[in-house]
Structure 1
Amino acid sequence: MSEGTMQRAAERDQLDRREQREQRARGLRRALVCAAAVPVMLIATACTSDSGSDDGAGDSTKASASESSASPSPTVQAVAYKALPEPCKVLTKNTLEVLVPKAKSGKEGSSDDASTRSSCSWSSLDNNGVKGSQFRWLNVSLLRFDSDVTRGSGNQLAREYFETQVEDARSVSGAKNVKSQPATGVGDEATAVRYDLKKKEGSFKQETVVARVENVVVTLDYNGAGLAGEKTPSADDLDKLARKAAKEAVAAVTKENGGADAGTPSSTPSKSASKSPSKSPSGSPSKAASSSPSKSASKKS
Structure 2
Amino acid sequence: MHRSAPRLSRILACAAVPVMLVAVGCSSDSGSDGKKNAGSSSSGTASSKPSEPTVEPAKFTDLPDPCTSIGKKTIEDLVPEAKKKGGTAGGSTDLSVRGSCSWNGLDDQGVKGSQYHWMDVGFTRFDSDQALGSGAKRATEDYGKQVTKTKATEGAKKAAAEPAAGIGEEATLVTYGLSKTDEDFVYATVVARTGNVVVTLTYNGAGYAGAKTPSSGDIVKGAQKAIKEAIASVEKTAGADASSPAKDDAKTDAEDTKKDDADAKGDAGSEDSPKSKATPKS
TM-score (norm 2): 0.69
| Shift in Å, 1:74 | 5.4
Which of 79, 83, 92 lines up with 1:100 in the alignment? Answer: 79
Q: Secondary structure at the match of 1:257?
A: coil
Shift in Å, 1:65: 2.1
Q: Is the 8 A contact 2:126 2:135 kept in 1?
A: yes
Match among 147, 155, 158 for residue 139 of structure 2? 158
Shift of 1:63: 2.4
Other-structure match for 1:90? 69
Regions of 4+ moved over 6 Å: 50-57
- What percent of counterpart residues are identical? 50
**Residue 110 of structure 1 pairs with residue 91 of structure 2:** yes
The residue type equivalent to 2:238 in the other structure is N
Q: Provide the rounded CA distance (Å) in 2 between the counterparts of 1:137 and 1:154.
A: 31
**Do the aligned partners of 2:61 and 2:239 also contact (CA within 8 Å) in 1?**
no
Shift of 1:150: 1.6
Is 1:81 the counterpart of 2:81? The answer is no
Asked if the contact 1:201/1:227 (under 8 Å) is kept, the reply is: no
Name the amino acid aligned to 1:97: E
In 2, Cα distance between the equivalents of 1:128 and 1:240?
22
Q: Distance in 1 between matches of 2:124 and 2:198?
A: 5
Three-state SS of the structure 2 residue aligned to 1:94 is helix
Bigger drift between 53-62 and 103-112 goes to 53-62
Matched residue, 2:168:
187
Aligned to 1:171: 152
2:191 and 2:201 in contact (8 A); partners too = yes
Distance 1:61 1:193 in 2: 61
Distance 2:230 2:114 in 1: 28
Are 2:62 and 2:239, in contact at CA under 8 Å, matched by a contact in 1?
no
2:214 pairs with 1:246? no
Q: TM-score, normalised on structure 1?
A: 0.65
**Are residues 1:232 and 2:206 paired?**
no
The residue matched to 2:230 in structure 1 has which SS?
helix
Q: Which has the larger radius of gyration?
A: 1
Shift of 1:249: 0.5
CA–CA separation in structure 2 for the residues paired with 1:255 and 1:95: 18
Q: Which moved more, 1:71-80 or 1:243-252?
A: 71-80
Which amino acid is the alignment partner of residue 122 of structure 1? W
Q: How big is the shift at 1:169?
A: 0.8
**Aligned positions of 1:36-51 closer than 5 A:** none
Alignment of 1:142-153 (within 5 A): 142-153=123-134
Report the residue type matching 2:68 in the other structure.
K
Q: Distance in 1 between matches of 2:181 and 2:119?
A: 20
Structure 1 residue 56, shift from structure 2 partner = 7.1
Tell me if the contact between 1:195 and 1:205 (Cα under 8 Å) persists in the aligned partners. yes
Shift, 1:258, TM fit? 6.9
Number of aligned residue pairs? 210
Does the aligned pair in 2 maintain the 1:133–1:227 contact within 8 Å?
yes
Aligned partners of 1:125 and 1:133: how far apart in 2? 6
Unaligned runs of 5+ in 2: 1-30, 241-282
Aligned runs of 1:8-87 on 2, under 5 Å?
A: 58-66=39-47, 68-69=48-49, 71-72=50-51, 75-87=54-66
**Which 10-residue stretch deviates more, 210-219 or 89-98?**
89-98
Structure 2 CA distance for aligned equivalents of residues 256 and 56 of structure 1: 58
RMSD: 2.4
> SS of the counterpart of 1:146?
coil
TM-superposed CA distance for 1:57, in Å, is 6.2
